[in-house]
């Protein structure tokens, strides 16, 4: 304590303020779940253990020798709810050939390893797939755990695959990753032309609305964002993005897109990736810059449209003061010191995301009740030849004729 007072020039009132903010942060986080929109821990498990959870002892998962996530640090950071990403890199190609099918297989493996993780550690993780399940699991002392995929390259250009992912518990899908795909352009596209959503992308937005899958706009191009925000009937999210006006990075969200996001009712979950919060003055990004992005979005469009999406384990190291999942309370305390009110902060922590997920679920029910949108079917090639169709038709005609004769004879 003496060291901290020396650091702050011996000012007891400032030290007391810092202590109060830290205490208030932890108290709030005991009442309201911190919901993080994006964590790549599953990819760490694949890279380090080849998904062999039998090689992951209880001691090791408590204190991982690599990465930014383990149970001990999750508990220290008071994480209440986590969207775990079933991330798989985009191998390129717009067709549904071998690379796409291999990506699909790998995605299923990543979803499987996450389910296995939850099942092996039921006292720590509670799998949930509805908004209403999050708070009960949090109040039971477990980390409410949901799934997301990071790009529609993971569905092998198949709406059927998307629906099956949803049945497996995936509750958001990022439209693309670092490459443009069949559905939309990426913010990382090397093509200077930003085409936004394609015709297939518009169909997929409607299908995601229809089944209650949240649309994630992180990694998408500016025009894609504007197209989706004009089209989607449900609120959307940026699961791990920050603000372009503070950090000129193509992955970040411009103010005009933020304005449209507020009209849509969606949420931007501020990312901790150093390159997305870099102040641009040559210094290392810090926790303070993350708080700057939260504040900018909150002041621009209202704190009801802001959340937290770290991207931990998707980076080698985080900004100073926010390097792993144990340090969320420091960010919450910083926002308290800056005067963000408890109600706004509760929304940023997690209630905003819960609202967006709930509204996505409600939109799906409304669309189903009104028959507003038809199921999106895959365009499959012909399976039978004309001769096979003719043989089946003739056999069917004979059966019907036989049934008629039996009925008439009775």
Task: Clarify whether residues 148 and 246 are in a common domain.
Answer: yes
In a domain, 2, yes or no: no
In a domain, 6, yes or no: no
219 counts as catalytic: yes
Q: Is the pLDDT of residue 2 over 90?
A: no
Distance (Å, whole) CA 145 – CA 73: 16
Report CA 181 to chain centroid distance, whole Å.
18
pLDDT band at 8 (very low <50, low <70, confident <90, very high): very low
Task: Clarify whether residues 337 and 389 are in a common domain.
Answer: no
In a domain, 10, yes or no: no
The stretch 379-400 carries a mean pLDDT of 93
- Strand bridging mode 143-150 / 125-127: parallel
Whichever domain contains 67, its CATH number is: 3.20.20.140
pLDDT at 88: 98
Task: Clarify whether residues 295 and 396 are in a common domain.
Answer: no
Residue with tokens 């708070």: 135
Q: pLDDT averaged over the chain?
A: 94
Q: Is the pLDDT of residue 5 over 90?
A: no
The stretch 371-382 carries a mean pLDDT of 86
Residue with tokens 């980076």: 315
**What is the number of domains present in the chain?**
2
Task: Clarify whether residues 289 and 405 are in a common domain.
Answer: no
Residue with tokens 């629906």: 163
- Could you report the per-residue pLDDT of 262-285, keeping only the tens digit for each? 999 999 999 999 999 998 888 999
296 counts as catalytic: no
Residue with the bigger pLDDT between 371 and 60: it is: 60
Domain with 258 in it: 32-379
Is-contact 240 38, C-beta < 8 A?
yes
Active-site entry in 36, 129, 150, 227: 150
Strand partners, 241: 270
DSSP string, 338-352: TT--HHHHHIIIIIH
Q: Is the pLDDT of residue 98 over 70?
A: yes
In a domain, 55, yes or no: yes
pLDDT at 308: 99
Task: Clarify whether residues 285 and 396 are in a common domain.
Answer: no
222 counts as catalytic: no
Task: Clarify whether residues 389 and 375 are in a common domain.
Answer: no
Task: Clarify whether residues 257 and 237 are in a common domain.
Answer: yes
- Could you report the per-residue pLDDT of 291-338, keeping only the tens digit for each? 999 999 999 999 999 999 999 999 999 999 999 999 999 999 999 999
Residue with tokens 């103010």: 255
Active-site entry in 36, 38, 249, 296: 38
In a domain, 62, yes or no: yes
Radius of gyration of the chain (CA): 24
Task: Clarify whether residues 257 and 133 are in a common domain.
Answer: yes
In a domain, 16, yes or no: no
Kindly state the tokens that stand for 150.
């990071």
In a domain, 273, yes or no: yes
In a domain, 5, yes or no: no
255 counts as catalytic: no
pLDDT at 409: 87
The model carries a pTM of 0.92
Active-site entry in 121, 153, 166, 240: 240
Residue with the bigger pLDDT between 41 and 11: it is: 41
Q: Is the pLDDT of residue 94 over 70?
A: no
Tell me the three state secondary structure of residue 103: helix
Is-contact 222 254, C-beta < 8 A?
yes
Is-contact 197 224, C-beta < 8 A?
yes
Task: Clarify whether residues 318 and 346 are in a common domain.
Answer: yes
The stretch 5-19 carries a mean pLDDT of 53
378 counts as catalytic: no
Report CA 204 to chain centroid distance, whole Å.
17
Active-site entry in 121, 153, 166, 177: 177
- Could you report the per-residue pLDDT of 128-159, keeping only the tens digit for each? 999 999 999 999 999 999 999 999 999 999 99
Strand partners, 277: none
Distance (Å, whole) CA 142 – CA 399: 59
Task: Clarify whether residues 233 and 355 are in a common domain.
Answer: yes
Task: Clarify whether residues 364 and 232 are in a common domain.
Answer: yes
| H or E stretch at 146 | strand 143-150
Kindly state the tokens that stand for 159.
């709406």
pLDDT winner (highest mean) among 14-28, 79-93, 219-233? 219-233
Q: Is the pLDDT of residue 233 over 70?
A: yes
216 counts as catalytic: no
Burial label, 282 (beta-carbon count in 10 A; 0-12, 13-18, 19+) = exposed
Active-site entry in 153, 166, 219, 293: 219
pLDDT band at 381 (very low <50, low <70, confident <90, very high): confident
40 counts as catalytic: yes
Task: Clarify whether residues 346 and 373 are in a common domain.
Answer: yes
């Amino acid at each position: 304590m003496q060291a901290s007072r020396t650091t702050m020039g011996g000012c007891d009132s400032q030290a007391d303020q810092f202590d109060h903010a830290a205490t208030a942060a932890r108290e709030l986080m005991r009442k309201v779940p911190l919901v993080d929109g994006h964590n790549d821990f599953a990819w760490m498990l694949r890279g380090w253990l080849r998904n062999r959870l039998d090689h992951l002892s209880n001691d090791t998962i408590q204190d991982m020798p690599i990465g930014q996530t383990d149970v001990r640090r999750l508990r220290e950071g008071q994480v209440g709810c986590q969207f775990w990403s079933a991330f798989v890199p985009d191998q390129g190609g717009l067709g549904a050939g071998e690379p796409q099918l291999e990506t699909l297989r790998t995605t299923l493996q990543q979803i499987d390893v996450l389910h296995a993780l939850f099942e092996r550690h039921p006292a720590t993780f509670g799998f949930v797939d509805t908004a209403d399940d999050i708070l009960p699991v949090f109040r039971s002392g477990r980390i409410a755990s949901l799934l997301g995929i990071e790009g529609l390259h993971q569905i092998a250009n198949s709406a059927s695959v998307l629906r099956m992912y949803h049945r497996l518990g995936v509750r958001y899908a990022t439209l693309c990753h670092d490459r443009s795909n069949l559905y939309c352009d990426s913010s990382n596209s090397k093509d200077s032309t930003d085409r936004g959503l394609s015709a297939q992308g518009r169909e997929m937005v409607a299908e995601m609305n229809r089944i209650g899958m949240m649309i994630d706009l992180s990694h998408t191009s500016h025009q894609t964002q504007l197209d989706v925000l004009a089209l989607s009937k449900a609120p959307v999210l940026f699961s791990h993005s920050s603000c372009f006006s503070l950090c000129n990075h193509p992955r970040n969200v411009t103010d005009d897109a933020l304005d449209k996001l507020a009209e849509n009712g969606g949420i931007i979950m501020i990312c901790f990736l150093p390159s997305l919060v870099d102040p641009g003055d040559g210094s290392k990004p810090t926790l303070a810059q993350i708080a700057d992005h939260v504040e900018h979005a909150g002041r621009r469009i209202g704190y009801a449209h802001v959340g937290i999406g770290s991207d931990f384990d998707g980076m080698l190291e985080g900004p100073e003061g926010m390097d792993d999942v144990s340090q969320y309370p420091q960010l919450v305390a910083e926002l308290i010191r800056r005067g963000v009110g408890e109600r706004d902060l509760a929304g940023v922590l997690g209630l905003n995301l819960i609202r967006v997920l709930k509204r996505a679920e409600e939109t799906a029910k409304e669309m189903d009740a009104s028959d507003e949108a038809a199921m999106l079917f895959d365009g499959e090639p012909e399976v039978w030849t004309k001769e096979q169709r003719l043989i089946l038709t003739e056999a069917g005609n004979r059966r019907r004729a036989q049934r008629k004769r039996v009925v008439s004879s009775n």
